[in-house]
Chains A and B, each alone.
Chain A
């Protein structure tokens, strides 16, 4: 972002600036083949996943996408957020099988070659962890700290309905229990309506095969549903009459309320947005024009509009939405802004096609209290001080 870049004084010391001829024009560059699989510029090596250095352990853990460093709506595969519950398995696709059984006419086993023979589809969808972020302090400093358990990709695979039809659903089939081939054998139950709607078995992400961290060689994709249900390293689908009530859908990924009850089977990720530039940890180095930009998304469909406030939420104006605006995908928004140097609090709120409007943190906490970890879709305001420093206005 112009005006947020490094020190201009340093750059002016370089001999590569006009009128001089830059050094990289005076000799040939790296030969073809020096990078059989390309990597970002060495000058971008700071753009990596945001992984806490103080986790108690790293087998069941998460790593965040550096949202404030990215443009557009597609997350590069190497920066896609990660959450795993038993480490990342190394699976030989030749020895990976998907078993489909339970309340079906024909229990089946598929190889990866089998799965890829089915008619394929490619669709762009976001994935988001349900705990993104928690409701309690300390709140994060950056957009990634707050909602970096969020990414978006073009996924390729086969509609789950196609594969279920191949086995033949029996009357009374109401749920599909999905199980991963990781050391957690992670298990979640998916309502049959979702399985027959837009659920997919995916093997590719942004054009290449899934990364191991994303479930290589096969994962479930449930657009708009909380991340952990999109079971990675998928090895088994069991069609049932009722949920498995697995540990991950009873003792975890349930939402404790102030009265001591907990909500179960809270599938959908509700409408949400965040300004990624300018955002926490960045600095506006000049007065004048700055583009405000960010991302919005909803598990319930398309983003209808995004509103931005520049005055601590007193007034709101429409942001421009970048096409394409896709269902259950990130939508990029923008608003031109002239910063005159006075301190400001800026924030965005998303409205989705159901008419639902992203709430404030106070509104969420009033209903849900502070005991819940999950489904916090609060508006997150940024404070810009007179020096241009951007910080979390809720902290």
Chain B
């Protein structure tokens, strides 16, 4: 190999080593790897398309029982609201002077219902319901809103397939929208 090429090869190699060193230097080596089991335990957020929904299923009928036991004290026997938000009704009111925002009239994605109930409800004992009961309560609330039939049984696939009435009701932020000059 001519001397010139040797030199070139050396330079290329040195640059590659420097690049590797620079990449390592960008990191501080702080923290430790998260294990798959650790991630699985904490990775509870559900996509709007239903991604990450767990196995299991729940019926409207079972949901009626769970709701009465766990939810009705704050949200009312029929989801009409109380200390907690109103969950039912209001469809067709969003453009009126007194809009009623509920799961049925306002929420754009059904899987969010599972996500929120599991992570935050009931308020006095969040993350205490089984996945089956979260499916069941989700089904019951959706049935109260006429979004699924009274005999529905929801699982990952069928909950993701529910189309919410206000699915297309959201727009991006147009601000600044108001000027006084």
Contact = CB atoms under 8 A, between A and B. Distances in A.
Interface of A: 56-57, 59-60, 85-86, 99-101, 106-110, 114, 117-118, 162, 165-167, 177, 179, 183-187, 235-236, 238, 242, 244-247, 250-251, 254, 256-268, 270, 349, 356-360, 363-364, 366-368, 370-371, 375
Interface string B61-73: 0000000000000
B155 to A, nearest CB: 20
B165 to A, nearest CB: 11
B105 to A, nearest CB: 10
Given A185-B120, A245-B47, A259 B95 contact: yes
A110 B31 contact: yes
B39 A101 contact: yes
Contacts of B171: 257, 261-264
Interface string B93-124: 01101010101001111001001100110010
B178 A359 contact: yes
A110 B176 contact: no
A109 B115 CA distance: 23
Given A99-B39, A166-B30, A256-B94, A251 B178 contact: no
A246 B116 contact: yes
A99 B100 CA distance: 38
Given A242-B48, A245-B112, A264-B170, 17 more contacts: A99-B38, A99-B39, A118-B30, A166-B28, A185-B44, A244-B115, A247-B112, A247-B120, A251-B101, A260-B99, A261-B171, A265-B172, A268-B173, A270-B176, A356-B176, A363-B180, A375-B175
A356 B107 CA distance: 33
Given A108-B32, A185-B44, A261-B170, A247 B115 contact: yes
A189 B48 CA distance: 13
A368 B177 contact: yes
Nearest to B168: A261
B2 interface: no
A235 to B, nearest CB: 7
B54 interface: no
A264 B95 contact: no
A263 B94 CA distance: 13
Q: By CB atoms of chain B within 10 A, which of A108, A110, A245, A356 has the most? A: A245
Nearest to B102: A251
Contacts of A59: 123
A109 B170 contact: no
Nearest to B111: A245
A162 B31 CA distance: 12
